[in-house]
Structure 1
Amino acid sequence: MNSITSYDPVLLALLATLFTWLMTALGASAVFFVRGANRKVLNLSLGFAAGVMMAASFWSLLAPAIEMSAAQGSPEWLPPAVGFLLGGLFLAIVDKVIPHVHPGCSLNEAEGIKTTWHRNRLLVLAVTLHNIPEGLAVGVVFGALASDITYGSLTAAIALAIGIGIQNLPEGTAISMPLRGEGLSRRKSFMYGQLSGIVEPIAGVAGALLVTLFTPVLPYALSFAAGAMIFVVIEDIIPECQREGNVDLATVAAMVGFVIMMILDVSLG
């Protein structure tokens, strides 16, 4: 067993996801210093986030899940495939149930069940949905440190948390600035913006607890988080960052985000 398991993986997951939440809050604080939302900056930020999430899905989640499946004696492709598809299905269901609207969209384009909620709340919920698989991914990776199966290291788990935190920085800005544009005060825009990240510690602790209590589900849990993140990237983030025609800018930002997350995982893992 890895020596780092002398630390409580659930506590580490909590601390790591509190860091990612803090980065969301830091990004949301831009509303105090920037006057108006710039669509190019928003598209760049979302593209970067998409790149980080895609890289993390493979390097930090799917690749280890494949290795663990082989170590457990299962077909190395089966648990990752099942978990990946279940993660996407879970987010698809959540996406259809929770009411939300993406920045730049009208209330007529709101998704989820019909509601009379104000547009501001629906905007926050849209980003909150993005943060569920991110928090889950960080929690599962830290929870894996308690496993008897050799897996990575504490530095690899920290690399994922850093990567998610980095992409949360512009993501926080991407929600607080549109809220300010909707007429909210700077203070309320910041409060709602950082609130969108509160789901990450919750999902992180839940993911860590699950895999520490039920070790055999670890490859499924890792790939589940990967599937959920890829669903968010394809269904929400990529279309959103290309809404205003800044396709090249968003694409370059996505590639930069992918490379940064890859370097973090490979160099620290």
Structure 2
Amino acid sequence: MTLLYIVLATFAGGLLSVLVAASLTVGVLTRLVKSLVSLSAGILLGTSLLNVLPEAFESHSAHPQTLFAVLLGGLLFFWLLEKVELYRHTHHHEDDGHHHHHHFDAEQAGRGGLTVLVGDSIHNFCDGAIIAAAFLADTRLGFATALAIVAHEIPQEVGDFIVLLNAGLSRAKALLFNAISGMASVVGGVLGYYLIGSFDGVLPYLLVLAASSFIYISVADLLPQLQQRLAWRDTLAQVAWLGVGLAVAFGVSQMLHGAH
């Protein structure tokens, strides 16, 4: 059953967001991204700090100082991956106030969308492995982690879909590229199940790596996007969606630790 859960969760995380992106107009997608970025920031931060890290530190097989070292190493690792454009989490759209130069989206998409495809595939593969590690540690934690990843994947895939469309690709090609990269999540989940399952002792460290991924994405990518000067209504909307994300993570935390 654990493998089935992993496949279903990674499939949802990899393809559900692609279908959402493909089914809506660019105008609707742009408005959707703005709300979902705030929501996913809350869910990712809450899940990492209230669910994943506590689960890892409750293990008696790993020393806390070592886990903190892994957390630090994970943050630096994901920073380096993004530095070489192998760990992308795009939420950009044209006229988003970031003042990118003309043809920025075309450059981001790269030749035939290759940059988006490769970067997202690696990102999604890592997400799949993270989901597998969480399910192997605790089924409830697996669902909580999958929820956090799905919440983040939707605005990410929407952002990439918009980048590809603005770069001149047809909706069909943009959908195909995003679907291919989304399937990497399933591959990462299945491989993670077979490779991680044989080494129970590494689970706490993998959970800390998962948390470092969530924290890095939230702090380096999502929260800075919410720092723009906005009208008070838009600011309240951002805070409200962020609060909803944190509330969801907190509710899941109560269920997880209340069941222990």
Instruction: Report if TM-score (shorter chain) is over 0.5.
Output: yes
Q: Structure 2: how far apart are the matches of 1:15 and 1:116?
A: 29
Structure 1 residue 244: deviation in Å?
7.6
1:84 paired with 2:71, answer: yes
Structure 1 residue 63: deviation in Å?
0.6
Q: Structure 1: how far apart are the matches of 2:109 and 2:170?
A: 22
Q: Residue 21 of structure 2 contacts residue 29 of structure 2 at CA under 8 Å; is this kept in 1?
A: no
Instruction: Tell me what 2:248 maps to.
Output: 260
Structure 1 residue 243: deviation in Å?
5.5
> Normalization by structure 2: what TM-score?
0.76
Of 195, 216, 220, the residue aligned with 2:205 is 220
Indicate the SS of the match to 1:221. Answer: helix
Q: Residue 36 of structure 1 contacts residue 181 of structure 1 at CA under 8 Å; is this kept in 2?
A: no
In structure 2, the CA distance between the partners of 1:161 and 1:210, relative to structure 1 (3 Å rule), is same
Q: Structure 1: how far apart are the matches of 2:163 and 2:109?
A: 20
Gaps of 5+ in 1: 1-6, 145-151
Residue type of the alignment partner of 2:17:
T
Q: Structure 2: how far apart are the matches of 1:206 and 1:174?
A: 27
Q: Structure 1: how far apart are the matches of 2:82 and 2:103?
A: 16
Aligned residues: 245
Instruction: Write out per-residue CA displacement over residues 93-113 of structure 1, whole angstroms, 9 at most, x where no aligned residue.
Output: 211223669424458989xxx
1:141 paired with 2:106, answer: no
Instruction: Tell me what 1:46 maps to.
Output: 37
> Normalization by structure 1: what TM-score?
0.74
1:22 paired with 2:15, answer: yes
Residue type of the alignment partner of 1:255:
G
Residue type of the alignment partner of 1:266:
Q
1:199 paired with 2:184, answer: yes
In structure 2, the CA distance between the partners of 1:101 and 1:15, relative to structure 1 (3 Å rule), is closer
Instruction: Tell me what 1:147 maps to.
Output: none
Superposed, 1:57-206 pairs within 5 Å as 57-68=48-59, 71-72=60-61, 74-75=62-63, 77-98=64-85, 102=90, 103-104=92-93, 105-106=100-101, 117-118=110-111, 120-124=113-117, 127-128=120-121, 131-144=124-137, 152=138, 154-206=139-191
Structure 1 residue 140: deviation in Å?
0.6
Q: Residue 137 of structure 1 contacts residue 226 of structure 1 at CA under 8 Å; is this kept in 2?
A: no
Structure 1 residue 62: deviation in Å?
0.4
Q: Structure 2: how far apart are the matches of 1:87 and 1:241?
A: 24
Of 229, 234, 238, the residue aligned with 2:223 is 238
Q: Residue 20 of structure 2 contacts residue 154 of structure 2 at CA under 8 Å; is this kept in 1?
A: yes
Residue type of the alignment partner of 1:221:
L
Instruction: Tell me what 1:148 maps to.
Output: none
Of 24, 27, 34, the residue aligned with 2:25 is 34
Structure 1 residue 251: deviation in Å?
3.8
Q: Structure 1: how far apart are the matches of 2:26 and 2:56?
A: 44
In structure 2, the CA distance between the partners of 1:124 and 1:240, relative to structure 1 (3 Å rule), is farther
Gaps of 5+ in 2: 94-99
Residue type of the alignment partner of 1:23:
L
Q: Residue 130 of structure 1 contacts residue 232 of structure 1 at CA under 8 Å; is this kept in 2?
A: no
Greater shift after overlay, 223-232 or 17-26? 17-26
Q: Structure 1: how far apart are the matches of 2:129 and 2:235?
A: 29
Instruction: Tell me what 1:3 maps to.
Output: none
Q: Residue 134 of structure 1 contacts residue 229 of structure 1 at CA under 8 Å; is this kept in 2?
A: no
Instruction: Tell me what 1:149 maps to.
Output: none
In structure 2, the CA distance between the partners of 1:226 and 1:159, relative to structure 1 (3 Å rule), is closer
Structure 1 residue 11: deviation in Å?
4.8
Residue type of the alignment partner of 1:137:
I
Q: Residue 13 of structure 1 contacts residue 205 of structure 1 at CA under 8 Å; is this kept in 2?
A: yes
